Amino acid sequence: MAADIEVLLRGPKAYGLARRAMEAMEAHNVWPTPLNFELWLHYVADADTPLGKAIAGTVDKGEAFTDGLGEALAAQHLPSAKLNGELLTAGDALSKELDTVSRAIESARESSEAYGEQLATASQSLGSSTPPAVKAMVDSLTSATQRVQRENQALEDRLADTTAEVTRLRKHLEAVRREAMTDGLTNLANRKAFDEALDRALQAADVSGEPLTLAVLDIDHFKVFNDTWGHQTGDQVIRYVAGVIARSGAEPRTAARYGGEEFALILPGEDVSAALAILESVREEVGSRMLKRRSTNQDLGMVTVSVGLAERLPGEPQGSLIERADAALYASKRSGRNRTTRAEMISAAA
């Protein structure tokens, strides 16, 4: 299928196919990111493929096509996404194998050197009374050992060169992986990285028994703002808000772009009271500046965010924690926006 898409995009139907993909994405409120565009190209080109059917199922159910869903579909159906993961796994395995081989060769070299020294000592200690045949045999063994040592050294040198090349490739693959886990617009963690970070945080909390709080943040009235000023200015606003959130997202916390104009902040080891102070500081800083349009210097006004907080309940799974944080966010929206709501406040009011 990927090869068919490549052929279509270099033929007379390319522009029509691209237009159909963009129209379909706009009709279903899908952000025109490069990954989404590639996925929807496959969908409009052939809806009967597994990828096409997966997208059609989402559309038919009226579900939102989120960044997380797009990344999951890409990992499952797009060869390039699969290849990145497979190469990373193969690189790790090869590095471990080379490390094992290197240690084995080093051990063999040391043993060979010790054996060679013993033979050389034995050869020197043999006196004139030693039968010529025995001395010749020892000299032959000494010569053979020296040859093996030279070959081992050559092999070691080649292995060192190979290991250096594999190390370089692994660094490149790790850079590719970091790029694949980073949101291109904001440089925050993307949805895939967020999911993995939250899963790790849940597992760590299960072991340590420490609290874990999740915050979700959404830019207020962003669609109106975006429609009024255009996507480029909208991107400028998203980057501004992301920069404020990033300053509170240093490790062990994780700051992520959750999707569109929505963000998330994972706060391991911090209860809801501590998290509330942090998020209130973020919310106040976001709303403290009068923004200007970069291209024209026009005043854009102030931007605000609504926030929802949920502290994890004992043994609570990932989906439930996200759902409660989302519910708290929407409670902030319903209550007038530009505020922070804790999930337990909703429960208490219910």
Asked if residue 276 lies in contact with residue 344, where contact means CB atoms within 8 angstroms, the answer is no
- Do residue 198 and residue 337 come from a single domain? yes
Does 269 share its domain with 340? yes
In a domain, 185, yes or no: no
Using the 3D structure, point to which of 180, 208, 236 is the last residue of a domain: 180
Identify each DSSP E strand in the chain by its residue range. 212-219, 254-259, 262-268, 291-292, 299-301, 305-311, 340-342
Is 280 designated active site? no
For position 3, what pLDDT does the model report? 42
**Which of 52, 77, 102 represents a domain boundary (last residue)?**
77
Looking at the structure, tell me whether residues 171 and 97 fall in a common domain. yes
Instruction: Give the domain range for residue 18.
Output: 2-77
Q: Which of 153, 180, 207 is the last residue of a domain?
A: 180
Of the residues 38, 71, 261, 262, which is catalytic? 261
Q: Indicate the residue type of 339.
A: R
Asked if 54 and 135 sit in the same domain, the reply is no
Q: Is 212 exposed, middle or buried (0-12, 13-18, 19+ CB in 10 A)?
A: buried
Per-residue pLDDT tens listing for the chain (350 residues): 444 565 565 566 777 788 888 888 888 888 877 778 888 888 888 888 888 888 888 888 888 888 778 877 887 777 555 545 555 555 566 566 566 666 666 666 666 666 666 666 666 666 555 567 666 766 666 676 677 667 667 667 766 666 666 666 666 666 666 667 888 899 999 988 999 999 999 999 999 999 999 999 999 999 888 888 888 888 889 999 999 999 999 999 999 999 889 999 999 999 999 999 999 999 999 999 888 877 777 887 889 999 999 999 999 999 999 999 999 999 999 999 999 999 988 865 55
What total of structural domains would you count in the chain?
3
Let me know: does 40 contact 29? Beta carbons within 8 Å: no
Domain shared by 152 and 51, yes or no = no
Classify residue 110: in a domain, yes or no. yes
